[in-house]
Structure 1
Amino acid sequence: MACRITELILDCADPVRMAEFWCEVLGYVEIGKEGDDIEIGPPETGFGGPQPTLILSRSDDPKPGKLPLHIDVNPTDRDQDAELERLLAAGARPADVGQTGEESWRVLADPEGNVFCLLRKRVGP
């Protein structure tokens, strides 16, 4: 028997704004709220499905920037350039973590400065 990732927790100053952003990026919906924390996940399956849920946890000490663990996302219904435009319109911004410019992925930051990568390969929804 093995384990699998069911939830990812991201400390943030504004869980509402971050939930809105990540719901837009991932096509997720709010599936629960406990205090200031908001859990978002896939609309049909929520917690326990094949994709992990994301908990935006209110913190007075979030640590934005290049974290030891970061999120990678892939486009599902468009190419990388079109998805980049969509993510920038949703509130992402380009981030520099020392990449050379030759990488196949794009490094971005969410509205609170947490770094994530937009990969090139298109995957199924």
Structure 2
Amino acid sequence: MACRISELVLGCRDPERLAKFWCEVLDFVVLDRDDEDIEIGPRSGFGGPQPTMVLSRTDGQNGTLRLHIDVSATDQDQQAELERLLAAGAHRVDIGQTGLEPWHVLADPEGNEFCLLKARIAPI
């Protein structure tokens, strides 16, 4: 049983500017966008051997995490993986979720936040 890093989420003031920069640096393309976020990644898209990057508009206030990891289960569904991560020492974190999100916000034993996504991806 395992997870893989599927996304790196970077809080930023100007997602368009950073998307252009990181696409140039990493030879990535824009995969998806909405009002607040731009997802960039390899041409093969989400779930491939490299994680994608989500550039997420933030106001830059102190205390706001600038970078966090999203993980996806590789060999079981999200609920089973959630139970495994909690048993391994992760704990739930409330950042104002509604409970309808398709991800779970967790923290490692030292309090570093990460998200468990619903999407399952193949192991490498």
TM-score by length of 2: 0.50
Task: Say which structure is richer in strand.
Answer: 2
TM-score by length of 1: 0.49
